[in-house]
Amino acid sequence: MDFEYSQKTKDLMTRLNAFMDQHVYPNEKTFIEQVAEGDRWQPTKIMEELKIKAKEAGLWNLFLPESERGAGLSNLEYAPLCEIMGRVIWAPEVFNCGAPDTGNMEVLERYGSPEHKEQWLKPLLNGEIRSAFAMTEPDVASSDATNIECRIQRDGNEYVINGRKWWTSGANDPRCKIFILMGKTDPDNPSRHSQQSMILVPRDTPGVKILRHLPVFGYDDAPHGHAEILFDNVRVPASNILLGEGRGFEIAQGRLGPGRIHHCMRLIGLAERSLEKMCKRALTRVAFGKPVAAQTVTLERIAESRIMIDQARLLTLKAAYMMDKVGNKIAAKEIAMIKVAAPNMALQVIDWAIQVHGAGGVTDEFGLSYAWAQARTLRLADGPDEVHRNQIGKMELSRYITADAMKAYSSSRK
Ligand SMILES: Cc1cc2nc3c(=O)[nH]c(=O)nc-3n(C[C@H](O)[C@H](O)[C@H](O)COP(=O)(O)OP(=O)(O)OC[C@H]3O[C@@H](n4cnc5c(N)ncnc54)[C@H](O)[C@@H]3O)c2cc1C
């Protein structure tokens, strides 16, 4: 493995860092102020202005490997760029690289029909609309997606959708025009992984009822937000099904890999930024006659943060490398590993940064409490830690398993 960044990546990193310095960091307060003005669920002026600038600067759609529609970067090349964007929570959208759109665009690119691409992928890639992914349901443990109950039933040339979803991120944003919904087309299929399908549901279809937004530790994440939605006899054309009935899990495997690793790349940026804040504060704040930075406990935490961030970055790069070389399916273990490691690393680093800031750390003043809240959700979103650990553990065991051991293992689980 060669983790030296390519010349193309290095050039883009320089340009992206310059853009962040010139346009994003100076507008961090402006963004918050504009969200707070009037209706919080309306897009901000600053975001739309910066999107135009990013497009003009050629810093647009940097994700999307193996596609003529992207910037032609591999996952490995994209990783350090995504990290830079992740330093400011709302910045990825400026470059049309925000969640959940990147994962959704990859689904449309890989599994959409030419018509789906024309109608939905094109405006998404242009940054004209946004999208949401509706899988999780309030009534069932959705970390096990075979539990999902939402029904997708064929009726002539249409599908009829009935169910309730929650934590559909981005659905509150008026620019969100399309949902990718996972539900069951064949709940009686003996193969539990062939019961589900994914289907495109335009947000303005009759019967789509946004019931409420769900706050994260009190933050509303406006204008993006996370919604609870009722799908009440929602009818869409049969051609809206992605790939075909029963292929939902196959698509989920394809979607969740990139979506997960993008979260990890951004989290590394968020942790770097928090460490930067920790160091600057520790150098200037004096307690008991010396700067907080001179207290050995702080030095220890700074050192440990550096170690943890670099470890997480290397594992992210390895996962990205594997995705490029052997594909998302075979890279599943590395993706699962970093999906556990990155949020836990970021949470620890941010927590130490909060501690160095004293009570100021838990206010909105330094952006650390919001950063912590965001990082905490990623121990749940896109699959809880435990589910990924189970998967990693099983893969590890499978290297040693013999027929006898397999028998003993299976009978112990009955
Ligand atoms: C901010 C945020 C944004 C989100 N965005 C989206 C989105 O856009 N679209 C979407 O569809 N969903 C989204 N989600 C939902 C998220 O993906 C789910 O919350 C997650 O998959 C877990 O499902 P659940 O909440 O039903 O937890 P449950 O399945 O009820 O699990 C609860 C807990 O049980 C434990 N557990 C579960 N399985 C195991 C196991 N095998 N071994 C050990 N312990 C286990 C874990 O501790 C787990 O946290 C989002 C969530 C958050 C917080």
What is the third-level CATH fold of 7-125? Butyryl-Coa Dehydrogenase, subunit A; domain 1 (1.10.540)
Residue nearest to atom 2 of ligand 1 (CA): 381
Residue 408 has pLDDT above 90, yes or no: no
Compute the Cα dihedral for 86, 80, 339, 117 and give only its sign.
positive
Residue 412 has pLDDT above 90, yes or no: no
**Average pLDDT estimate for 396-411:** 80
**Average pLDDT estimate for 210-227:** 97
pLDDT at 66: 83
Buried b (16+ CB within 10 A) or exposed e, 333-348: bbbbbbbbbbbbbbbb
- Average pLDDT taken over every residue of the chain: 95
pLDDT at 82: 98
- Pick the closest to residue 368 from 378, 380, 381, 359 (CA basis): 359
Domain ranges of the chain: 7-125, 130-242, 249-412
387 close to ligand 1 (CB < 6 Angstrom): yes
**Average pLDDT estimate for 55-76:** 92
**Average pLDDT estimate for 54-75:** 92
Residue nearest to atom 15 of ligand 1 (CA): 381
Assess contact for 242 and 197: CB atoms under 8 A: yes
Buried b (16+ CB within 10 A) or exposed e, 9-38: beebbeebeebbeebbeebeeebeebbeee
406 close to ligand 1 (CB < 6 Angstrom): no
Residue nearest to atom 35 of ligand 1 (CA): 386
Q: Which amino acid is residue 300, in one-letter code?
A: E
167 close to ligand 1 (CB < 6 Angstrom): yes
**Average pLDDT estimate for 38-53:** 96
383 close to ligand 1 (CB < 6 Angstrom): yes
What is the third-level CATH fold of 130-242? Butyryl-CoA Dehydrogenase, subunit A; domain 2 (2.40.110)
Distance CA 129, CA 135 (A): 20
Residues in the chain: 414
Residue nearest to atom 29 of ligand 1 (CA): 141
Residue nearest to atom 13 of ligand 1 (CA): 167
The burial of 382, by beta-carbon neighbours within 10 Å (0-12 exposed, 13-18 middle, 19 or more buried), is given as buried
pLDDT at 413: 65
pLDDT at 67: 86
- Pick the closest to residue 335 from 397, 272, 383, 287 (CA basis): 383
Distance CA 175, CA 310 (A): 37
How much distance in Å is there from the Cα of 71 to the middle of ligand 1? 32
Say if domain 249-412 classifies as CATH 2.40.50.140.
no
How much distance in Å is there from the Cα of 352 to the middle of ligand 1? 26
139 close to ligand 1 (CB < 6 Angstrom): no
Of the given ranges (34-38, 54-58, 347-351, 405-409), which has the lowest mean pLDDT?
405-409
Assess contact for 298 and 282: CB atoms under 8 A: yes
pLDDT at 191: 96
Q: State pLDDT tens for residues 284-333.
A: 999 999 999 999 999 999 999 999 999 999 999 999 999 999 998 899 99
390 close to ligand 1 (CB < 6 Angstrom): yes
How much distance in Å is there from the Cα of 91 to the middle of ligand 1? 25
259 close to ligand 1 (CB < 6 Angstrom): no
**What tokens appear for 306 in the block?**
């550096």
Residue 414 has pLDDT above 70, yes or no: no
Cis bond upstream, residue 100 (ω within 30): yes
Q: Who contacts 190 (Cβ-Cβ below 8 Å, separation ≥6)? A: none
Residue nearest to atom 11 of ligand 1 (CA): 135
Q: Which amino acid is residue 282, in one-letter code?
A: A
Residue nearest to atom 43 of ligand 1 (CA): 386
Q: State pLDDT tens for residues 257-266.
A: 888 999 999 9
Residue 253 has pLDDT above 90, yes or no: no
